[in-house]
Amino acid sequence: MSLRLGDDAPNFQAQTTVGDIDFYEYTKDSWVVLYSHPSDYTPVCTTELGRTAQLKQEFEARNVKVLALSVDSVEDHHEWIKDINETQQTTVEFPIIADKDRKIAELYDMIHPNASATATVRSVFVIGPDRKVKLTLTYPASTGRNFQEILRVIDSLQLTAEYSVATPADWKHGEDVIVVPAIKTEDIPAKFPKGHKEIKPYLRTTPQPNI
């Protein structure tokens, strides 16, 4: 059964390139990006893992721990990392999970038989500190992920978890946000002292409240 938004992210134990981990213990009190790769030594995955390593400070600034997964062995992962570091001019330090028996891939529904019966699709899970699934994305094997979009979504998730706002289409950090419909217009000034605009009775915007 596939995981849906708001579901508990299942715990697991795994061998990784940084040693054996318990998922809950390793990610305690952090936001998490868990994402899968069809297999080692594949070109698109090489660029994705390299890009993740290049964005280390961006993830750390958001209190996000990143874990990648592939169905190959830890030994293969370590050899592959050498290629990633060389070709992408970076240093991979986050864990790559070895899932040779595909237990984690099946636990998170990362194998879609109509795409491949043996390899994971490009799944992305963003998981909150409460262990709840906040975002799911699934890409085909041919299409690399947009990590700026993943960071943008994390910014939105973290913002909207703290304030009664939503983020509009194409929103980026620093731009105006939408006041949720549950807030009455007359109550907006007390909650959002930076001011607001009423475009329609149901569409009210305010400057991003946490900057």
CA distance 53 to 28: 21
In the set 45, 92, 98, 133, the catalytic residue is 45
The answer to whether 91 touches 115, Cβ cutoff 8 Å, is no
Active-site residue, 45 included: yes
Listed residue (145, 123, 120) closest to 52, CA to CA: 145
Q: Tokens 């970076």 belong to which residue?
A: 90
Tell me 11's DSSP state. Answer: P
DSSP secondary structure letters along 33-93 = EEEE-S-SS-HHHHHHHHHHHHTHHHHHHTTEEEEEEESS-HHHHHHHHHHHHHHHTS---
User: What is each CA distance from 168 to 129, 177, 182, in whole angstroms?
Assistant: 24, 6, 16
Which residues carry out catalysis?
45
